[in-house]
Copies of this chain bind each other. A is one copy, B any other.
Amino acid sequence: MSKVYLLLISAALYAFYKEERFMNIIKPSVLPGFMDLLPKDQLVFNKMKEIIEDNFKKFAYLPLDTPAIEKTEILLAKGGGETSKQVYNIESSSRNMSMRFDLTVPLARFVAEHYHELEFPFRRYHIGKVYRGERNQRGRFKEFYQCDIDIIGDEFLDIRNDAEIPLVIYNIFKELNFTEMTFHLNNRKLLNGFLDYHGIDNFTEVLRIIDKIAKVSEQDIKEMLSDIIPEVDKVELILQFISYKGENTDVLNYLEELKIDNDKYSEGLKELSEVYKYMRLFEIPDENICLDMSITRGLDYYTGTVYETFLDNYKSIGSVCSGGRYDDLASNYTKKSLPGIGISIGLTRLFYQLNEADLIDIPTRSVADVVIYPMADCYEYGVKVVDKLRDEGIIAQIYFEPGKFKKKLNYANKLNIPYIIILGDDELSKDEVALKDMDTGEQISVCIDEAIKIIHSNKL
């Protein structure tokens, strides 16, 4: 009987000890709605980011990297609305500070503040994290990367710039292996002029309804429009106008032939034609462009050209990149008139969606070209080998840890490292290396220079 007591006491003591020892362990986890990638996904994400940044540079955009925290009064200068509810504010007794919710407001602040130190047109790219306290929802993130390019003019910005912005995006998606993508292109002045000409004056509401077109049926649009426009024929006119489909040149002809006698409309048509013409001159194929009167970007501040971009085979993902022209970027911070054109890729969401659907098809280099495993007394030789490989531009790593060889090998295997080098007494004495191709399993003994040649020849 006493043995049982002893056992019980031991168990209780052990439980107490464990409790004591690990009592202070905090369960490690990220906040919901924040992306936290494992290295293999991070490598792919970074590759996408790199392709985007390289193209921004290739098209001569200057880099900007403003703080993620700004004065609240700056960020919310435009006034409340939906955005202000989503803004993360920093607790502070002395200052109102908030996290930026996009990269456009900081750009406006920057250009207004440094107006005299910048050259115009000011072409800048910015890839950075922005923050929005969105409702928890699959595929929506509270911290996400935006990749923006904008061209800001001083008082004036030539309309041809609106044609170059899509070219940058076209190049990016081509490099991401999505050649089947379409720019849906419109000009807000067209619809505004059209509505004005037909005596319909609740522009904003109409635009907001049309903006829903990708998500609801035409019948729904019709009903919503009827709610705010009593005349049935006018609703029909709008529906006809926004749903016209055809070759791009047909669309332009159609818009011309409507003979809408309205200045805004004429201006919009002239601009749209010019943007389309120059997009073609910039060698964006015609099948990648779709003049589309239903694109309005209803809730935004755009005043002319508007774009949405869809991947032809994965339209359900929605627009992967959108933007447009605004007459006045920084009117809250300066009296200078600063018209601009810009576009933005929401990289975090794009990556998430493409990755979930297993659509990412870009070659990503492994973290290393080769791992070197020195046996017991060959560490110094191992360092000599890794030094030499690195001198030759090979990404090499030396594995110093003890343990069974199988476990060591597993490391290179799991990380998809294409080669390993094993160094034992034999190799040391002959000044050779045992090079193993992890794909084929083939292992050969060669001199270091030969190993370098082989590893180089198989690199991405």
A38 to B114, CA, bound (A): 8
Whole-angstrom distance between the Cβ of A423 and the nearest chain B Cβ: 14
Contacting pair A39 B25 (CB below 8 A) = no
Count, chain A residues at interface, CB 8 A: 100
List residues of chain B with CB within 8 A of the CB of A57.
395
User: What mask results when residues 1 to 45 of chain A are scored 1 for a CB within 8 Å of chain B, else 0?
Assistant: 000000000000000000001101111111100111111001101
CB neighbours (8 Å) of A109 from chain B are 28-30
**Which residues of chain A in 211-256 are interfacial with respect to chain B, using CB atoms and an 8 Å cutoff?**
none
| Measured CA separation A128–B30 after assembly (Å) | 17
How many Å lie between the Cα of A390 and that of B57 in the bound state? Answer: 12
Q: How far is the CB of A335 from chain B (nearest CB, A)?
A: 5
The chain B residue with its CB closest to the CB of A400 is B158
A68 contacts which chain B residues (CB < 8 A)? 68, 129, 143
Chain B's closest residue to A87 (CB) is B91
A114 to chain B, nearest CB (A): 6
B residues near A31, Cβ cutoff 8 Å: 67, 69-71, 95, 97
Contact of A63 among B43, B383, B387, B414 (CB under 8 A): B43
Q: Is the CB of B117 within 8 A of A38?
A: yes
Q: Which residues of B contact A34 (CB under 8 A)?
A: 67, 69
- Output the nearest chain B residue to A29 by Cβ-Cβ distance: B113
- Please state if A29 and B71 are interface contacts (CB–CB under 8 Å): yes
Q: Which of A99-125 contact B (CB under 8 A)?
A: 99, 108-110, 112-114, 117-121, 123-124
Bitwise, A382-402 to B at CB < 8 A (1) or not (0) is 011001001000011111111
Asked whether, in the complex, the Cβ of B88 is within 8 Å of the Cβ of A283, the reply is no
The answer to whether B395 and A66 touch across the interface, beta carbons within 8 angstroms, is no
A397 with B123: in contact, given A158-B402, A281-B383 (CB under 8 Å)?
yes
Does chain B have a CB within 8 A of A203? no
> Complex: how many Å from CA A121 to CA B282?
49
| Contact in complex: A26, B73 (CB < 8 Å) | yes
A359 within 8 A of B: no
CB distance B90 to A65 under 8 Å? no
Chain B residue nearest to A61 (CB atoms) is B367
A65 cross-chain contacts in B, Cβ below 8 A: 37, 42, 45-46
Q: Chain B contacts of A27 at CB under 8 A?
A: 333
State which of B26, B99, B415 has its C-beta within 8 Å of the C-beta of A77: B26
Docked Cα-Cα span, A239 to B111, in Å, equals 55
Q: Is A314 an interface residue (CB 8 A)?
A: no
Chain B contacts for A24, CB-based, 8 A:
77, 332
A374 to B387, CA, bound (A): 52
A75 to B92, CA, bound (A): 18
| Closest beta carbon of chain B to A88's beta carbon, Å | 5
The distance in angstroms between the C-alpha atoms of A397 and B168, with both chains bound, is 12
A402 and B156 in contact, given A29-B113, A68-B143, A143-B69 (Cβ under 8 angstroms): yes
A60 CB contact (under 8 Å) in B58, B282, B367, B401? B367
Chain B min CB distance to A189 (Å): 19
- The smallest C-beta distance from A29 to any residue of chain B, in angstroms, reads 6
For residue A59, CB closer than 8 A to chain B, the reply is yes
- Asked if A173 is at the interface (CB within 8 A of a chain B CB), the reply is no
A296, chain B: closest CB distance, angstroms = 26
Q: Which residue of B lies closest to A76 (CB)?
A: B26
Q: Does A326 contact B (CB under 8 A)?
A: no
A39-B62 in contact (CB<8A): yes
- 24 A-B contact pairs sorted by A residue (CB < 8 Å): A28-B74, A30-B109, A35-B67, A36-B66, A36-B113, A39-B62, A39-B118, A39-B124, A42-B62, A42-B65, A45-B65, A46-B65, A61-B367, A119-B410, A119-B411, A121-B401, A123-B367, A123-B397, A157-B401, A160-B379, A164-B398, A281-B380, A282-B387, A283-B387
Sorted nearest first, the 4 A-B pairs with minimum C-beta distance are A158-B400, A60-B368, A28-B333, A28-B113
- If A31-B67, A161-B400 are given as contacts, then 20 extra A-B residue pairs at C-beta distance below 8 Å, sorted by A number, are A24-B77, A24-B332, A26-B73, A26-B332, A28-B112, A30-B66, A34-B67, A34-B69, A46-B63, A57-B395, A59-B395, A60-B397, A62-B367, A90-B90, A90-B99, A121-B399, A123-B397, A156-B402, A278-B383, A282-B387
